[in-house]
Structure 1
């Protein structure tokens, strides 16, 4: 089973860039898609699908240095990402955070676009513990 699309939220950029580099070597046709929650302080240059060079804060080399690795980046509304975290908790028993919600939301859209028989992979990088004081997460 090959991976057709990999979806990952972009924080420092380390996970998406590391996974993208390995996947693109092994599966040259894989599509790499980034997800950024709308509330993220990460910037994006107008008219390009790539984040500005300062998003990594110096921790990871700039994403714009390797535009060949990321095929597309989506901003996900906070409300949609939070709604997905509620679904993940209720339907799957996964106590996931907002970045995870954004990942799953974009992964589901990609899967729908690709159709049956395709594999879309994501990672749930955060949990809900860190958001328990936020009224959106207290049910």
Structure 2
């Protein structure tokens, strides 16, 4: 009985040791497997990261190129608008100057006409005044003669 018990204990110990060794082996294998998966996952993440960075860089470069093109086009458009507005302003300026010259000429003509009319009027008034004075003098002489 004692020998059977000892053998049974030895057997249990052996099984225990074997199962522990087996568990340790499985644990090591699973750890190695987890490490491998982790390394692969990290490599995969790095690859994905690199690819996304490359894609982001490409998109960024394209976006920058697009923005540069838009900026250049906008500047060209602004320059065109600027040139057109300058041409417009020059045209308006020329027209305004022509208009001012015309107004100046017309005002001078009007002033000359008014001046001529005023002189004619003054001459008329002068003639009328002289006629009036002559009439008064004649009437006064007639009055004197009558008296």
Higher-RCO chain (CA-CA 8 Å, sequence separation at least 6): 1
Name the TM-score, length of structure 2 as normaliser: 0.14
More strand by share: 1
More helix by share: 2
